Amino acid sequence: MQTTSSHEVRFNLPSIEVAAKVWGDPDGLPVIGLHGWLDNAATFDLIAPRLQGVHLVALDLPGHGLSGHLPAGGYSLWQQAATVLQVAESLGWERFALLGHSMGAIISGILSGTLPERVIGAGLIDGLLPFTSEADDAPKQMARFFEASLALSSKRKPVYRSMEQAVSARVMGGTTPLSREAAGILVERGLMSDHGGWTWRTDPQLMLPSPLRFTSRHALTFIEAIRSPVSLVLANQGVMHKHPQVLERIERFEHIVVHRIDGGHHLHLESQAPEVATILDSFFQGLA
């Protein structure tokens, strides 16, 4: 029986400490949860208690939530994926399933395509293919990264008088629409005290442009290489509804089961959470 409460764990990896929230029976299906960009492990707070028969270890990926930060230039999709594998090794999990939202779903796709013998299956929420650019764009993309990196030292994190002010900032300043209730769940884990107020724990480096992106062919190759089951919950008003060419590509992946639900990018933290959880619960029970 899945417990409704969670507990905290820490993983002392070779180069960083990674924090996580854990739900469920240790004898259940091993699942590693991966949140979206600038979010944290609390992203699964509403759906985790509804997943039966799983042992969910939801990470704060490096630079997010309660986890440590990496040295300059340390963040990439493949670096984050490598951290997931280090956590799996720490847990003694030779084979495991993945639960990913947004960036976490993209990382899940990379891992599933790269190491199909280790990934039992992946439940994804509104994410699959990363943003891409072609080889000819690489010098300009790298230049944007260098310029932004040099300017980073002169920037200061905002300080909010209260958590409520920080929640308002997240609601108003996010890249995708987010309810106040959903923002509150994420913000609580994403803040630290500072000069009598509150500021973000998030590593400012995460705001930098990627120094290098996959080409579209790279991205597709990882997904085409997946051999384990994949269930993808797509938000009809999520991040991909503005990119019909991406949706068209996803629909052509015959090995991925797609479920479309009305809702925004964080639908698993909104009123649609029970519906999302029901789909994922059925998927993980099938894997078990």
**What's the pLDDT tens digit per position in 147-169?**
999 999 899 999 999 999 999 99
Catalytic residue among 102, 108, 112, 228: 102
Helix (H, G, I), strand (E, B) or coil at 119: strand
Helix (H) or strand (E) holding 123, with range, is: strand 119-125
Structure confidence at residue 246 (pLDDT): 83
Is 102 a known active-site residue? yes
Residues 99-135 have pLDDT tens digits of 999 999 999 999 999 999 999 999 999 999 998 999 9
How much is the pTM? 0.95
Contact 123, 112 (CB under 8 A): no
Structure confidence at residue 3 (pLDDT): 54
Structure confidence at residue 59 (pLDDT): 98
- CATH class belonging to 7-138+212-287: alpha beta
Q: How many CB atoms lie within 10 A of CB 150?
A: 9
Under-50 pLDDT residues of the chain: 1
Measured at the alpha carbon of residue 170, what is the angle toward residues 19 and 258, in degrees to the nearest 5? 70
